[in-house]
Structure 1
Amino acid sequence: MQPFDSSIDTSAEEFLRNREAMLAAIEKFRDAEKKPQVAAEARAQRYRERGWLLPRERLNRLLDPGTPFVELCPLAGYKLYDDADGSGAGGGAICGIGFVSGRRCVIRVDNYAVKGGTISPAGMDKALRMQQVALENRLPVVTLAQSGGANLIYATETFAPGGRGFANQARMSAAGIPQVTVVHGGATAGGAYQPGLSDYVVMIRGQTGMYLAGPPLLKAATGEVADEESLGGAEMHCREAGSGDYLAEDDADGIRLAREIVATLPKSPQLEESCEWQPPIYPDHELLGVVPADSRKPYDVRELLARIADGSALLDFKPEFDQQTVCAHIRIEGRVIGVLGNNGPITPGGANKAAQFIQLCDQGRTPLLFLHNTTGFMVGTAVERQGIIKHGSKMIQAVANARVPKISIVVGGSYGAGNYAMCGRGFDPRFIFAWPNARTAVMGASQAGKVMRIVSEQKMQRSGAVDEAALDKLEADTAAFLDAGSDAISCSARLWDDGIIDPRDTRRLLGFLLEVCHEADAAQLATNTFGVARF
């Protein structure tokens, strides 16, 4: 592979404008991510008086010091449902992939300090996404549980699909994926089945309360009067019911036990060392100015690759055949990966090129990276006659059926069927992240406004009266509505990605994710039929 010769002038006025716009977008999403942390700190004193660690303090004690932690879906539910101030970002939990006792794990820490850790529909979707990550990547799951359970305001939306979470737990156990849960506080009704379906359960003396019906519901349903400890306390469950496996003295002790349990699990597969690699020639901070702030301005996606690839080197596939769709091989920390990027709309030729490249990577067991920045498939009479639908369908079939790990990063716009062809959320990439300037929608906001105007104007013409003022308002309102719902924060709140990242972190993140995928391919699991059960 040859190093790419960048043509970007990093001192140019346009580059500096792009950089400032990107820095402003980074600050905006970082501020949104901080809102639940600020809300938790505001209540910190009352929890510390009870001897509880705050959720992020629990997370920090669980993780191996000095090791990376990739947080997933931190903006899930941001300003959706009843989250008026944004403090509910994260959907009631802090989740991600990190190292516990030397073992890479999926981690969930209930954020009890914000709204009691209650779970909104977005929080439920996030929980299911974490289980999918664990299953696909064969990773143990560690849960630090203390939640108020489902938000009853949205019970009609979450009850039926929420059952999938319990089914997933049973299937993960049967698949040989260990699940460790520390029950830090209350676990009631359906919430009691989460630890009940875990393979290892740690309870905390005088703090855990786990029951199908709490004291008030028990009295209402049967007339029986019982206190929390005798009904579902840690000592009762560990000594009599057998629902708990380990009895801890406090939060820190419970986390210590969780770490010791994970230490008994088989270690991550010992993989061969990657070959030596060189960092990119161009510094990562230049990524701030590579993508134009004005989405209508073109740029060469190879400029982006030159700042994330080992030695800034790439092997361009069919570089002379349809230059709007870029396909190339690069290495990241020594690991080969096939990349698809956009320099414009996807044409019939570009779709053919991409479909061939994807099949070659699938044949060679080479992971795929999709860098989204496309308005979608080219439209018009000429491309329809060239068979854009059938050629686009070939590309979509290749994306959907490729068996290798697929990682997507939305680095600009991702519109219409272009989002599908570039492995958007609906095509189940192993991981999908977004830059803070990203936009995802069925089409551009201005185009949507014009479409609604044209359709409505035609209807008015048939009725014999055209109201230009009404059409102006409809066009503006449609564009504003789509624009507000297509930015990176709005899309991340709906879990259309696994999180927003600073562009400067792109290479480090990809190196981590490629390791996760590589270890998953090498992992050997001891499966059984029904999962581990308590008798």
Structure 2
Amino acid sequence: MTVIESKLDPKSEIFECDRQAMLAALRPLEELAVQVLEAGGGKAVDRHRSRGKLLARERVDLLLDEDAPFLELSCYAGAHDPRSQPGARLITGVGTVNGVECMILANQSTVKGGSLNPDAVAKQLRALEIAERNRLPLITLVESGGADLPTQADIFVPGGRTFRELTRLTAAGIPTISLVFGSSTAGGAYMPGMSEYTVLVKNAASVYLGGPPLVKMAINEDVDDESLGGAEMHARVSGLADYLAEDEHDAIRIGRQIVADLHWRKAGPAPSLPADPPAYDEAELLGCAPADPRRAVEVREILARILDGSRFDEFKPLYGTQLVTGWGSIAGYPVGILANNGILFSEEANKGAHFIQLANAHGIPLLFVQNITGFMVGSAAERGGIIKDGAKLINAVSNSTVPHLTLMVGASYGAGNYAMSGRAYDPRFVFTWPNHRIAVMGGPQLGGVMSIIRRTAAARSGADYDDAQDAQVRREIEEMIETQSSAVYATGRLWDDGVIDPRHTRTVLGLALSATHSAPVVGATRFAPFRM
């Protein structure tokens, strides 16, 4: 394969400007990370420890193999909403347990008892979706008071879907394991109840549909926690507990042994290419995205710093040049790459659709690298067939069955987001850089369009037009779009699986690719009819 020849000058003024802009974009995420790690604050943590309990992150660390990486997902769920706790009271991610890549969920009971609010439900559903599509055994570390009752109207319907998806995992042959460390109440009780394997901690776990106060109100029965739903009762009487653990460490030991006894094997191909590091410094990725989102970025510079050995065999390099396509590998896994070097014209759309078909024909996963303002507009583009050609690309993306990974390194606007396998098109994983912007269109463009529409309407009706008010409305629209298109807002609403430091891109993509190969990698044999 050809090694990409980098033309990036790390000593240039423009590189340093872009690098400083990226570091500035990382700072709000570092502040959010502190809130996520605090998990309820010092008093809640101290109270939790005084009960002899491990924190949720400590449980995850003990469950994982020694020195195994943990690909945490949706870290900042809820960060868009000042009323919510960043992280959504739940830890989710992919990690290795006894040599098996698993999806791990852990309730953070130091935040309102681990009760599930709307953000937590959405985060849990996304984790279950990733587990199902990538054939990852599921391990849930349970300590939850169930639904967050003040927000019950927003979680009752979607919350019920979590139990449906849990049992569908089992039906698909994907193991589900629950380790229960504390209260598992109401909806939380169905997590162990619908798992294949359950482990309850003696004198700590309690599982019941209604706690003692509700039982008193409903049937006037006086009963204590242990008699109603304690670990020993479920191990000796109800049969809900498959294993009774002496303490938390014992529960984790049992959970690891359950995984070992699965004798689980990946169904996809193993890495087949050399996984040597890129020829260029990954730290230089900090300066590979433009400080000004209107400025184009040379995407090959990014590829040179994430691909194995910086090797890249480009496909159709002289045609549709604003979409870079070709073959490379990450962590030894072959990948086909579609990366934006500008706006999409008809040529780029046709090239991308062709390339996606080839990847499916050979069963090769696809990596989409987005920095896209959309498809070309205007009379020349319309006469040239931009709609039908864009439809071909969206058709190919929609019906492709090889794993898709999407990395957003800049703008992601309009149908360009769709055509490059945005979140709505079910990529296996979506990650973004902190400079990322996502919306129907940019703020100035949307404000200008609305201004033209209002001005035209006023002219048709013969009304006077207030230019000062128009300017004020345009400013308000631009400010709204600036807020709602930011990386923090998008990741808070789970439009992606995480905002990552650009320097970690190769590692994150490698872990995600490994996870996708737990399932078979099979290309599509049929697409919807292409409009030629």
TM-score range, shorter chain: over 0.9
Give 1:91-130 correspondences, 5 Å limit: 91-130=88-127
- What is the deviation of 1:195? 0.8
**Paired residues of 2:272 and 2:334 also in contact (CA < 8 A):** no
- What is the deviation of 1:350? 0.7
Find the aligned partners of 1:278 and 1:100 in 2 and give their Cα distance: 25
- SS of the aligned residue for 1:433 comes to strand
**Paired residues of 2:274 and 2:308 also in contact (CA < 8 A):** no
Q: Which residue of 2 aligns with 1:276?
A: 274
1:238-279 C-alpha deviation (Å, 9 max, x unpaired): 110111111112222221211121121113339656333432
- What is the deviation of 1:213? 1.1
Amino acid corresponding to residue 77 of structure 2 in structure 1: A
Amino acid corresponding to residue 478 of structure 2 in structure 1: A
Counterpart among 442, 450, 453 of residue 451 in structure 2: 453
Matched, 1:5 2:13: no
Find the aligned partners of 1:425 and 1:368 in 2 and give their Cα distance: 15
**Paired residues of 1:81 and 1:120 also in contact (CA < 8 A):** no
- SS of the aligned residue for 1:336 comes to strand
Q: Which residue of 1 aligns with 2:412?
A: 414
The normalised TM-score by structure 1 is 0.94
Find the aligned partners of 2:111 and 2:338 in 1 and give their Cα distance: 40
Q: Which residue of 1 aligns with 2:164?
A: 167
Counterpart among 359, 362, 365 of residue 361 in structure 1: 359
- What is the deviation of 1:36? 2.5
- What is the deviation of 1:27? 2.5
**Paired residues of 1:186 and 1:210 also in contact (CA < 8 A):** yes
Q: Which residue of 1 aligns with 2:525?
A: none
Find the aligned partners of 2:36 and 2:112 in 1 and give their Cα distance: 10
- SS of the aligned residue for 1:146 comes to strand
What CA RMSD, in Å, does the superposition of the two structures yield over aligned residues?
A: 1.6
- SS of the aligned residue for 2:517 comes to helix
Q: Which residue of 2 aligns with 1:349?
A: 347
Amino acid corresponding to residue 95 of structure 1 in structure 2: T
Shift in CA distance, 170/277, structure 1 to aligned 2, threshold 3 Å: closer
Shift in CA distance, 273/70, structure 1 to aligned 2, threshold 3 Å: closer
1:317-357 C-alpha deviation (Å, 9 max, x unpaired): 11111211111111223322111111111111110110001
Give 1:225-264 correspondences, 5 Å limit: 225-264=222-261
Shift in CA distance, 273/381, structure 1 to aligned 2, threshold 3 Å: closer
Find the aligned partners of 1:250 and 1:453 in 2 and give their Cα distance: 65
- 451-460 or 226-235: which moved more? 451-460
Matched, 1:485 2:509: no
- What is the deviation of 1:106? 0.3
Q: Which residue of 2 aligns with 1:498?
A: 497
1:209-262 C-alpha deviation (Å, 9 max, x unpaired): 211111111111111111111111111111101111111122222212111211
Query: Displaced runs of 4+ in structure 1, greater than 4 A?
Result: 270-273
Q: Which residue of 1 aligns with 2:50?
A: 49
**Paired residues of 2:201 and 2:246 also in contact (CA < 8 A):** yes
Find the aligned partners of 1:304 and 1:151 in 2 and give their Cα distance: 43
The normalised TM-score by structure 2 is 0.95
Q: Which residue of 2 aligns with 1:21?
A: 21
Q: Which residue of 1 aligns with 2:298?
A: 300
Find the aligned partners of 2:150 and 2:422 in 1 and give their Cα distance: 31
- SS of the aligned residue for 1:190 comes to helix
Shift in CA distance, 439/79, structure 1 to aligned 2, threshold 3 Å: closer
- SS of the aligned residue for 2:144 comes to coil
**Paired residues of 1:491 and 1:497 also in contact (CA < 8 A):** yes
1:76-101 C-alpha deviation (Å, 9 max, x unpaired): 11142732xxxx11222111000112
Find the aligned partners of 2:259 and 2:407 in 1 and give their Cα distance: 31
- SS of the aligned residue for 2:297 comes to coil
Amino acid corresponding to residue 144 of structure 1 in structure 2: L
- SS of the aligned residue for 1:2 comes to coil
Q: Which residue of 1 aligns with 2:62?
A: 61
Shift in CA distance, 29/68, structure 1 to aligned 2, threshold 3 Å: same
Shift in CA distance, 463/184, structure 1 to aligned 2, threshold 3 Å: farther
- What is the deviation of 1:519? 2.8
Q: Which residue of 1 aligns with 2:37?
A: 37
- 8-17 or 505-514: which moved more? 505-514
**Paired residues of 2:270 and 2:333 also in contact (CA < 8 A):** no
Unaligned ranges ≥5, structure 1? 524-535
Find the aligned partners of 1:279 and 1:258 in 2 and give their Cα distance: 35
Q: Which residue of 2 aligns with 1:339?
A: 337
- What is the deviation of 1:116? 2.0
**Paired residues of 1:36 and 1:114 also in contact (CA < 8 A):** no
Shift in CA distance, 81/229, structure 1 to aligned 2, threshold 3 Å: farther
**Paired residues of 2:137 and 2:175 also in contact (CA < 8 A):** yes
Give 1:189-208 correspondences, 5 Å limit: 189-208=186-205
Amino acid corresponding to residue 49 of structure 1 in structure 2: S
- SS of the aligned residue for 1:404 comes to coil
Amino acid corresponding to residue 474 of structure 1 in structure 2: V
Find the aligned partners of 2:52 and 2:462 in 1 and give their Cα distance: 71
Find the aligned partners of 1:100 and 1:234 in 2 and give their Cα distance: 24
Shift in CA distance, 81/502, structure 1 to aligned 2, threshold 3 Å: closer
**Identical aligned pairs, as a percentage?**
46
- SS of the aligned residue for 2:518 comes to helix
Find the aligned partners of 1:132 and 1:272 in 2 and give their Cα distance: 23
Find the aligned partners of 1:275 and 1:7 in 2 and give their Cα distance: 26
Amino acid corresponding to residue 482 of structure 2 in structure 1: D
**Paired residues of 1:322 and 1:349 also in contact (CA < 8 A):** yes
- SS of the aligned residue for 2:34 comes to helix
1:32-69 C-alpha deviation (Å, 9 max, x unpaired): 12203224451222111110111111111111111111
Q: Which residue of 2 aligns with 1:474?
A: 473
Matched, 1:320 2:321: no
- What is the deviation of 1:464? 1.0
Shift in CA distance, 460/127, structure 1 to aligned 2, threshold 3 Å: same
Amino acid corresponding to residue 12 of structure 1 in structure 2: S
**Paired residues of 1:181 and 1:195 also in contact (CA < 8 A):** yes
Shift in CA distance, 19/401, structure 1 to aligned 2, threshold 3 Å: same
Shift in CA distance, 451/44, structure 1 to aligned 2, threshold 3 Å: same
**Paired residues of 1:67 and 1:99 also in contact (CA < 8 A):** yes
